[in-house]
Amino acid sequence: MRKLLTAGVGLITAVALAGTATAATPPAKPTVSTGTATAVTQTSAKLRGTVNPQGSLTTYYFQYGKTTAYGAQTGPASAGAGTKGVAVNADVVGLTPNTTYHFRVVATNVAGATVGTDKTFTTPKQPLGFAVTATPNPVALGGPTTVSGTLTGTGNAGKAVQLQQRSFPYTAAFANAGNAQTVNAAGQFSFPILSLTLNTQYRVVTVGSGSVTSPVVLVGSQVAIRFSVSAKSIKSRQLVRFAGSVAPKKDGSLYAVQKQKGSTWVTVAGSSLRPYTADKSRFARRLRIRHSGVYRIYVGVADGMNVSTASGSVEIKIKK
């Protein structure tokens, strides 16, 4: 009987111990530590932190924003299911220059979520910079154009800017053209140029200390071509005289009589410009016209003072 009782007690004890050994350990929430922001630029940063999954499959993300309300977060990523802290990070883009941001890491597993402490970083200022264009470009001889663009960067709004110019041969220093103006809230500006007779370089500079200069924009001034034909309605194989003038004076420059073929122009005759007046050159050429067509004069300029261009067109028809 004593042996039987002893065996029974042993069996009960073994069962109790076995039950204790197989009881499930409650899962624990992850532990987290918000780190620092690195690789900070005017518009992006890398957020860092540490997550310990505490043995359960864990995901994490970062919350960030301009206040502790955050308002934005990165996509979820896995931190694994280990029992030691692992380094985690996420890239954020589309940030505003010269702005302080708050951020923290958040980790979640089956036991719940853990929120890290709040940290901050500040994006650097965006340097001032210009985008400048001229429209139209090139312009007809003596015609107008407008130099316009945008000043971007931190503190751009309300900045004073000045247009500067220098004409061919570009050996003189840039000189102010007109009065300075103040950019609008978006950093935009516009300088009208009333008349342009020479190829001219333009640039825009900020006024005051720490001056910033735009890239140079070259605006071309086209030569002016005037021409006429001796007849517009002719018999086939009749001679037609093409004659006219070019301003400013470009003696020796090449000109071409061109005929339109589809979407292109084909040169059918040409020669050099000859002296005419103090400020103009001339040309004259007779052509035997066999078929109806549209014609124009093209003048090529290589002296750097003006740019090449083509005249308006004229239609010559063959009588039936």
The enclosing domain of 258 has a CATH number of 2.60.40.730
- What CATH number is associated with residue 81? 2.60.40.10
3 state SS of 171: coil
pLDDT at residue 226 in the model:
97
Domain residues for 98? 31-122
Domain end marker among 219, 239, 258: 219
**Cis peptide leading into residue 169 (ω within 30°):** yes
Residue 10, domain member (yes or no): no
- Assess contact for 217 and 205: CB atoms under 8 A: no
Residue 17, domain member (yes or no): no
Are 248 and 311 within one domain? yes
Our measurement of the distance from residue 266's CA atom to the centroid of its chain's CA atoms, rounded to an integer in Å, reads 37
Rounded percentage of the chain residues whose pLDDT exceeds 90: 90
Q: What is the 3-state secondary structure of 11-76?
A: HHHHHHHHHHHHCCCCCCCCEEEEEEEECCCCCEEEEEEEEECCCCCEEEEEEEECCCCCCEECCC
DSSP 251-320: TT-EEEEEEEETTEEEEEEEEE-EE-SSS-EEEEEEEEE-S-EEEEEEEE--SSSSB-EE---EEEEE--
pLDDT digits (tens, 9 = 90+) for 152-171: 999 899 999 999 999 999 99
pLDDT at residue 210 in the model:
83
Per-residue b or e along 171-181, where b marks 16 or more CB atoms closer than 10 Å to that residue's CB? eeebeebeebe
* Positive or negative: CA dihedral 199, 203, 207, 211: negative
Residue 6, domain member (yes or no): no
Residue 21, domain member (yes or no): no
Are 263 and 195 within one domain? no
Q: Could you tell me which residues are beta bridge partners of residue 257?
A: 269, 297
Whole-angstrom distance, CA of residue 172 vs CA of residue 195 = 20
Are 167 and 137 within one domain? yes
Q: What domain count does the chain have? A: 3
**Residue 224 pLDDT exceeds 90:** yes
Average pLDDT, the chain: 93
Domain end marker among 194, 219, 244: 219
Domain end marker among 219, 235, 250: 219
Are 152 and 170 within one domain? yes
Tokens of 246: 């070019």
Residue 79, domain member (yes or no): yes
Residue 258, domain member (yes or no): yes
Are 161 and 81 within one domain? no
Whole-angstrom distance, CA of residue 57 vs CA of residue 66 = 31
Our measurement of the distance from residue 102's CA atom to the centroid of its chain's CA atoms, rounded to an integer in Å, reads 29
Tokens of 57: 């499959």
In which residue are the tokens 């040409």 written?
A: 270
pLDDT digits (tens, 9 = 90+) for 94-133: 999 999 999 999 999 999 999 999 999 999 999 999 999 9
Q: In which band, very low, low, confident or very high, does the pLDDT at 23 lie, cut at 50, 70 and 90?
A: low
